[in-house]
């Protein structure tokens, strides 16, 4: 028998309204008791008595046993979620920045108070990747996780490479359609996928990574020369977050534009769609694909979590609690394409080797291997408008053979 959920909803924007649409279309054993909003003057079709501007009217309501948090403000979301968990209420959230930043604390709060926090909607919209990492891969020797985690940037890149639009034109179209914000830097700058990657890494490896230490370089500096280079090499450019095990204990994470070849799963993922590619020792390679933006796709993921709470579901964080000894590292080499203006940047990055080089008065680039640590150290320089960097998609160098043999050594130790 499923529980009867009495819900307090925070936020009634695109996702909140999408969630309500889905709930009203089905006969579910749940009821929305109150909705917290910021602007009471805004016209709404629902009964005004359903709304409140006082968060405590929901958090202190003993009738409400479930909180659904769908607001943009990460700090306010943190206060709402932690208060609810401490008050014995289960929570569903889609705030990826808040969750990624405070995940270890949120896990401890759940354990201390016997409550459950679910957040499938925070990572890749309608794709059920968190639940799969928790359940399907819970006993797997997990190798790598990568994909397209941000629908806004993917929409822009799709319009550039498929329709020949300029970056500025594609960005404006994404903004007009509601995929990108007026200030789109969280999306195109790689911050949004960085937060999602941090969350996914916790479930894939049992490793809590502070998002501040994950390198994120976005597509905001993409130029016509970079686009021309990719086309001449038969690549598309995608913004790709990656988490990879490079030996039995070390995990590397980064968010970088990637030169994607035609035989890559991600090549045909277009517009606002998201995709997640995973690789494990026994399941090998698998691919998840679905809409990553919009009220109904994200609302569907939120509803899935709500439905799971009716049966007392909670994340077990098995890999984290197993104390498997994995740690975060940046001690690897990546092969990158780098467009630059100042020759000093090449010296500062200390390329391990350069396999391709071109220099003209208006356009200079190199292709070569560089330490991830060096990219992190010089990140501010890489954000200059005269610079664009992209991972070539080729394997991690020097530790690549170790990465390929990691499962053989793990299996031998079982």
DSSP one-letter string for 129-190: HHHHHHHTTTTS-EEEEEEE--HHHHHHHHHHHHH---HHHHHHHHHHTTSS-SSTHHHHTT
Q: How many CB atoms lie within 10 A of CB 114?
A: 10
Residues known to be catalytic? 196
3-state secondary structure 73-140: CHHHHHHHHHHHHHCCCEEEECCHHHHHHHHHHHHHHHHHHCCCEECHHHCCCCCCHHHHHHHCCCCC
Angle formed at CA 92 by CA 88 and CA 97, multiple of 5 degrees: 115
- Contact of 58 with 68, CB cutoff 8 Å: no
> How far apart are alpha carbons 41 and 12 in whole angstroms?
13
Any idea which residue has 């997640």 for tokens?
A: 276
Phi–psi pair at 10, nearest 5 degrees: -105, 115
Size of the chain in residues: 414
Phi–psi pair at 161, nearest 5 degrees: -85, -25
Q: Give kind and range of the element (H or E) at residue 328.
A: strand 327-328
Half-sphere exposure of 35 (CA within 13 A, CB side): 22
- Contact of 271 with 155, CB cutoff 8 Å: yes
Contacts of 109 (CB under 8 A, 6+ apart): 82, 85, 86, 115, 117
């Amino acid at each position: 028998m499923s529980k009867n959920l009495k819900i307090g909803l925070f936020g009634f924007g695109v996702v909140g309204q999408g969630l309500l649409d889905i709930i009203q279309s089905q006969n579910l054993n749940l009821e929305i008791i109150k909705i917290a909003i910021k602007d009471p003057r805004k016209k709404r079709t629902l009964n005004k008595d359903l709304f409140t501007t006082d968060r405590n009217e929901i958090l202190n309501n003993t009738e409400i046993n479930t909180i659904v948090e769908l607001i943009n403000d990460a700090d306010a979301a943190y206060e709402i979620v932690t208060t609810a968990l401490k008050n014995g209420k289960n929570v569903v959230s889609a705030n990826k920045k808040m969750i990624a930043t405070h995940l270890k604390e949120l896990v401890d709060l759940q354990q201390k108070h016997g409550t459950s926090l679910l957040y499938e909607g925070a990572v890749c919209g309608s794709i059920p990747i968190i639940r799969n990492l928790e359940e399907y891969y819970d006993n797997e020797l997990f190798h790598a996780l990568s994909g397209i985690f941000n629908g806004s940037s993917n929409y822009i890149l799709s319009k550039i490479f498929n329709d020949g639009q300029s970056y500025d034109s594609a960005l404006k179209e994404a903004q007009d359609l509601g995929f990108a914000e007026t200030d789109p830097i969280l999306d195109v700058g790689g911050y949004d996928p960085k937060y999602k990657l941090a969350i996914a890494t916790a479930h894939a490896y049992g490793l809590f990574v502070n998002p501040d230490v994950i390198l994120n370089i976005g597509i905001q500096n993409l130029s016509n020369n970079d686009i021309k280079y990719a086309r001449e090499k038969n690549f598309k450019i995608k913004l790709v977050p990656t988490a990879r095990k490079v030996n039995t204990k070390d995990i590397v994470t980064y968010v970088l534009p990637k030169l994607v070849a035609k035989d890559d799963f991600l090549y045909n993922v277009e517009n606002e769609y998201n995709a997640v590619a995973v690789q494990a020792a026994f399941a090998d390679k698998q691919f998840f694909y679905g809409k990553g933006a919009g009220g109904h796709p994200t609302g569907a993921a939120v509803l899935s979590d709500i439905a799971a709470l009716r049966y007392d579901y909670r994340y077990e964080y098995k890999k984290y609690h197993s104390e498997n000894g994995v740690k975060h590292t940046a001690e690897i080499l990546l092969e990158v394409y780098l467009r630059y203006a100042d020759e000093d940047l090449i010296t500062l990055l200390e390329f391990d080797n350069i396999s391709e080089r071109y220099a003209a008065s208006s356009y200079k680039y190199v292709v070569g291997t560089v330490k991830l640590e060096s990219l992190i150290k010089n990140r501010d320089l890489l954000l200059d408008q005269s610079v664009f960097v992209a991972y070539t998609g080729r394997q991690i160098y020097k530790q690549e053979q170790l990465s390929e043999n990691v499962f053989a050594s793990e299996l031998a130790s079982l």
